[in-house]
Amino acid sequence: MIRLEGVTRRFRSAAGERTALDGVDLEVARGEVFGVVGRSGAGKSTLIRTINLLERPDAGRVFVGEREMTALGPADLRAARRRIGMIFQHFNLLDAKTVAENVAFPLRLEGRLAAEVRTRTAELLERVGLVEHAKKHPAQLSGGQKQRVGIARALACGPDVLLSDEATSALDPETTDEILGLLDQLNRELGLTVVLITHQMEVVRRVCDRVAVMADGRVVEMGATADVFLHPEHAVTRSMIAETDALDGLDETPPQGTRRLRLTFRGATTYGPELSQVARETGVDVAILSGRIARIRGEPYGQMLVSMSGGNADAAVARLTERGVAVEAV
């Protein structure tokens, strides 16, 4: 659905030249929710803006659907942009217009008939649950409601792709969850392809099918969200996950004769009795140092740090692995 090939973008300023994107290759499949994470300045904002060419790359090509965006003339580019919705961190609503007028805005820009605009606007307001706020102005709404207006507006022209530029970063955790729930629902019900950039790992964990991690203008790690989260390879990924997912107890050296292991359970094994069964069978003693059981994009997982002593530790590791638990020595 979306393909970036060797996309490079440099910014020149008085301070010199800075490479925001350095030969990024990326492919997003139709109907998937794709996350891009990274620390501020990693280039993720520039990356998402190259998809609808708000930022024109200095080198490389951008494809959305069948179109090569980087090869389009101005009129074709505008037509292509109408098929790509976008939502923003600061909502970017028009203050002078009402909620309904904001939602109708892209339809009017496209020159749709008044009657069509009215029915479509009503439909969109219904979908995002803002019918009773139609006549209000954005200043009268809460952050979450403003973002709902933004989402309705982005959907107005029936796009195939939704770009989300830090859309939940200005919202409180509860509202963030609500907005993510809405994005998730739109993805499932409309088959909308969503690309979202964020610095919040929780957002990725909650809604993304796949994720790319960016650092210094490059994609340093990419894969299914659960794989990247549970077995991060790049240092940046590890540190970003560590902030939200601290596995404590790593500081002290383990006493003689104990092994320190990280166990990762996924899917059905998450709620199963694997650990206690294996402990009984092999006679090992297990102390849980830290752990977490949660979901990534709906799939349950558990990850814990344990110290194992006594019994037959090698057999315990082998049996856990047999039962689908990933075991890593720490």
Partner 1 sequence: MFANVAWDEIGRATLDTLMMLGGSLSLTILFGVPLGVLLYLSGRGRLTANPVLNAMLSLIVNVLRSIPFIILLIVMLPVTVLLVGTSLGVLGAIPPLVAGAAPFYARLVETALREVDKGVVEATQAMGGTTWQIVTRALLPEAMPGLIAGATVTAIALVSYTAMAGVVGAGGLGDLAIRFGYQRFQTDVMVVTVVLLLIMVQGLQMLGDWLVGRVSHR
Q: Which residues bind partner 1 (CB under 8 A)?
A: 52, 54, 77-82, 84, 86, 88, 90-97, 105-106, 108-110, 137-139, 153, 157, 163
Decide whether 54 or 71 has the Cβ nearer to partner 1.
54
Stretch (H or E) spanning 255? none
CA angle 229, 51, 224 (to 5 degrees): 20
β-strand pairing of 326-329 with 67-68: unpaired
Nearest distance in Å: CB 2, partner 1? 15
Q: Which is nearer to partner 1, 192 or 286 (CB)?
A: 192
Which of residues 111 and 257 has its CB atom nearest to partner 1 in the complex? 111
Q: How far is the CB of 34 from partner 1 (least distance, A)?
A: 18
Q: Which of residues 52 and 282 has its CB atom nearest to partner 1 in the complex? A: 52
Nearest CB to partner 1, comparing residues 63 and 105: 105
Residue 90 is classified by DSSP as: T
Report phi then psi at 300, rounded to 5.
Answer: -70, 150
Nearer to partner 1, 63 or 88 (CB): 88
Residues forming beta bridges with residue 330, ordered by sequence position: none
User: Strands across the sheet with 326-329, in order?
Assistant: 285-296, 299-309, 258-266, 326-329
Total residues belonging to the chain? 330
Q: Is 24 exposed, middle or buried (0-12, 13-18, 19+ CB in 10 A)?
A: buried
CB 24 → partner 1: shortest distance, Å?
A: 20
CB of 202 to partner 1, least distance (A): 24
Question: Three-state SS across 20-54?
Answer: EEEEEEEEECCCCEEEEEECCCCCHHHHHHHHCCC
User: In whole angstroms, how close is the CB of 120 to partner 1 at the nearest point?
Assistant: 14
CA distance 267 to 297: 12
C-alpha–C-alpha distance, residues 190 and 213, integer Å: 27
Give the residue ranges of DSSP H helices in 52-98: 74-82
Please name the amino acid found at residue 100: A
Q: Report the residue number, 43 or 85, with the smaller CB distance to partner 1.
A: 85
